[in-house]
Amino acid sequence: MRSVLPELDRAATMPLTAQISAFFARAIELGRIPRGDRLPTIREVASGCGVTRATVQDAYRELARLGLVEATVGRGTIVLGEGGEPREDAAPTSGSRSAKAAAGTTGERRPLSPFATAALRRTLEMPGAPELAAGQPLVANFAELAPDSDRFPVAEWRAAMDAGLLRHGPELLGYGLSAYGLEELRTAFVGRARATDPTVTVDDVLITGGAQQGLDLALRTFCAPGDAVVVTAPSYHQMFGLLEAHGLETVAVPFRADGLDLEQLARVLQHSRARLVYLMPTFHNPTGRTLDLAQRRQLMDVVAATDVPVVEDEYQQSLRFRGEPLPSLRSLDPRGLTVTVGSASKELFPALRIGWAIGTADVLQPMAAVKRFVDLETSPLLQAALVQFFASGAFDRYLDELRAELERRHATLHAACERELPAGCRVTSPDGGYLSWLDMPRAGQGDRLAELCNERGVRLLPGRAFDPFDRPSSGVRLSLTRADSDQINAGIAVLGECAREIAADPVATPFL
């Protein structure tokens, strides 16, 4: 059967995402796409309509929220039958509700765990870095938050691996002696952490498999299914799937230009089932904002009146190129209930899955015990190589060059934004890190801006991707990891053109 595709009106005020979802909703209602049949693939719609896959993904997510379709593993997006179930003659799959029902009653197949089910659903729905329409040349990539592979210190890292093996020999190829990690590496991290936490000692450091494992260990240590975790709005989007997979409720507190809404935080901590607070106080993802010293102290005054632990994610803290380091939240917590997590992956390269968690013994001991049963240990070989990389001075040289380059890219970005953006747009000016955040005047306009830019060769992520509840956003995230100065200038010229088109429309329609 020939696929049914919408005809899009690019001059309309309704966003393309909304046009696509409305078209398929009407087609399902009229029976043009029978219940139990598949919608066209995301790739097919994107190619046939000349839009990005991200645009189609957003439209299909809206249809799923309306209960009209369900994404299933191996079969695509299925039109649901009455009562939210696919038709009876549709073969169940492991990702569909009918499959789970069948697995639970026949005994032939076991259902997925709630953790796996939630993780799979989030993976299918997660808005990744959008791809360009077929034939559209790339102008600038502001979408991905991954270090520039052209800058990876390949030769220096190979020398560090060789030096580590020569020094330690076969012992690095067996199991390590401690779930806490190599003492030499923990000592090196202590030296770096003391710029923001003067009291930290080697006993306060646990080596993890990247910052993401540190977050997972904290959730496993402090939370049980049904508990609530406080996050900022907007916030790091990978955290949302992790919370859902653990069966945890998400409670959002606004993080605006003037800082965290502390009154809202106090109310949440007093009246909700909150068991953890997750924050990025320095170079926040996605906005690049940083809580100043006064805000940090006020924040800890609010939290200190409770027994709720705090996890501060400082994965970009070392990328400061302007100003003085600020005290960590952990150093300001008189209760000893704050854990700092960080990662070397964003500083060097993603394949280096080494991070750390810093906390008191009361906090780290159960986290280390959990880690022992999750993965036994973080690779001793990689840990030893990183020790050698530090000792050779290569890490400091690389980091100095990276900070200088980021300072240049941020300066280029802000000069281009001042030159190209219409009145009413605001751009954050971080003192470090990879990210900046552009705000349009109205909710939904950021999502529309991302859609237009992606159609014209500028890849970026809409702010809605970072909202805990997928609400329309006024903003977009600008990542500078993959765009040099020339690409930044070219990309912001296109972005400014798109922003002016949106600003000129008196009835800009938000995503619904």
- Residue 444 sits in a domain whose CATH number is 3.90.1150.10
Residue 89: per-residue pLDDT = 41
CATH number at residue 24: 1.10.10.10
Q: What is the mean pLDDT of residues 157-170?
A: 93
Residue 96: per-residue pLDDT = 36
Place of tokens 């598949």: 38
Residue 208 lies in a domain: yes
pLDDT at 492 over 80: yes
Please compute, for residue 374, the number of CA atoms within 13 A of its CA located in the half-sphere on the CB side: 17
Number of compact structural domains in the chain:
3
Residue 233 lies in a domain: yes
Residue 36: per-residue pLDDT = 87
Q: What is the mean pLDDT of residues 369-398?
A: 94
Phi first, then psi: what are they for 140, rounded to 5°?
Answer: -160, 145
Residue 402: per-residue pLDDT = 95
Is residue 85 located within the same domain as residue 231? no
Residue 249 lies in a domain: yes
Instruction: Report the distance separating Cα 173 and Cα 458, nearest Å.
Output: 45
Cα 455 to chain centroid, rounded = 23
pLDDT at 99 over 70: no
> Who has greater pLDDT, 476 or 48?
476
Residue 93 pLDDT class (50, 70, 90 cuts) = very low
Is residue 96 located within the same domain as residue 215? no
pTM, entire model: 0.81
Instruction: Report the distance separating Cα 440 and Cα 423, nearest Å.
Output: 9
Q: Considering the chain, what is the average pLDDT of its residues? A: 87
Residue 144 belongs to domain spanning: 140-151+397-504
Is residue 213 located within the same domain as residue 349? yes
Is residue 293 located within the same domain as residue 384? yes
Burial zone of 404 (CB within 10 Å; 0-12 exposed, 13-18 middle, 19+ buried): exposed
Residue 91 pLDDT class (50, 70, 90 cuts) = very low
Query: Which two three-digit tokens encode residue 47?
Result: 């190619």
Residue 127 pLDDT class (50, 70, 90 cuts) = low
Residue 26: per-residue pLDDT = 86
pLDDT at 1 over 60: no
pLDDT at 106 over 80: no
Going by C-beta distance under 8 Å and a sequence separation of 6 or more, which residues neighbour residue 36?
A: 78, 79, 81, 86, 87, 89, 90
Tell me: the pLDDT tens digits for 165-206?
Answer: 999 888 888 887 688 999 999 999 999 999 999 999 999 999
Tell me: the pLDDT tens digits for 232-268?
Answer: 999 999 999 999 999 999 999 999 999 999 999 999 9
pLDDT at 74 over 70: no
Q: Are 499 and 440 in contact (CB under 8 A)?
A: yes
Going by C-beta distance under 8 Å and a sequence separation of 6 or more, which residues neighbour residue 505?
A: 13
Residue 179: per-residue pLDDT = 86
H or E stretch at 419: helix 394-420
Is residue 231 located within the same domain as residue 339? yes
pLDDT at 511 over 70: no
Instruction: Report the distance separating Cα 271 and Cα 113, nearest Å.
Output: 30
Residue 90: per-residue pLDDT = 38
